[in-house]
A and B are shown apart, each in its own frame.
Chain A
Amino acid sequence: GDSVTQMEGPVTLSEEAFLTINCTYTATGYPSLFWYVQYPGEGLQLLLKATKADDKGSNKGFEATYRKETTSFHLEKGSVQVSDSAVYFCAVNYGGATNKLIFGTGTLLAVQP
C-alpha cells in the first residue's frame, strides 16, 4: 500500500549547520507532498508543500523539491537555528475520495547553540 519513509531521528545539529531530512514515498499516481512541523507541546503546522513534479516548496528558510524520478521530497535548510528544534513530518496525499494524508513517522531535530 501507499507509504512514506522518513529518516529516523533524532538529528542533532549545531546552530548554523546545514539540515537535510530525507523523505521518500511509494510511487502511486501523482500525489501532493507536504512537510509539517510540530514544535514542543503544540499541534502540527504546515511548513511547505509541492503539488507536481519539480515544484519547490519553501517557507521560513526551509525548502523541498518534488522529485518524481526518485520519489523523494527531502527537506533542507541552509542554516538552522535553535528555534527550529521540533519534530518534522513528511506527508503525502494521494487524492481520491478521502484525500487523506499518509504520514512518515516524524524526525526529531534538536539544534544546539
Chain B
Amino acid sequence: DAGITQSPRHKVTETGTPVTLRCHQTENHRYMYWYRQDPGHGLRLIHYSYGVKDTDKGEVSDGYSVSRSKTEDFLLTLESATSSQTSVYFCAIKIPSTDTQYFGPGTRLTVL
C-alpha cells in the first residue's frame, strides 16, 4: 500500500462542466502521475509532476490541466468535460531511487 487515495471514486457529470479529480499521497514522494485507462489502449499518461509547482504534459494532455501546490496533492482538472473524457483515471507515485510506480484505486468518470 503506497498510501495513495483518489477522490471522488465515481463521478457522473454533464458535457461542458468543469471537473477536478484529486490524488493524495501520504509519503511525500516527489513524482506523481495521472493516467487514463480506456479499452484497447491500456493506460496513457496525461500529466506528471516532479515537484511542487513543477508539472509537464504527457501524451494525451489536451483538455486537461493539473496543479500541485503541495507535495501530497496532485489535482487533475477538466475545464470543460467532453464525452471523450469518459474514462477511468489513475494516479500514481514513483518510489525514489527506483523506476517503480504504484497506483491509486482510480476514479471512474462518466461525462454525459
* Chain A residues proximal to chain B, CB less than 8 Å: 4, 6, 32, 34, 36, 42-46, 49, 51, 89, 91, 93, 95, 97-101, 103-106
Residues of B close to A51: CB separation below 8 A = 99
List residues of B (71-112) whose CB comes within 8 Å of A's CBs. 90, 92, 94, 99-106
Contact of B58 among A32, A34, A100, A104 (CB under 8 A): A100
- CB pair A46–B43 under 8 Å, yes or no, is no
- Knowing A89-B43, A98-B48, A100-B33 touch, does A46 contact B102 (C-beta < 8 A)? yes
* Chain B residues proximal to chain A, CB less than 8 Å: 31, 33, 35, 40-45, 48, 50, 56, 58, 90, 92, 94, 99-106
- CB pair B43–A101 under 8 Å, yes or no, is yes
- CB pair B105–A106 under 8 Å, yes or no, is no
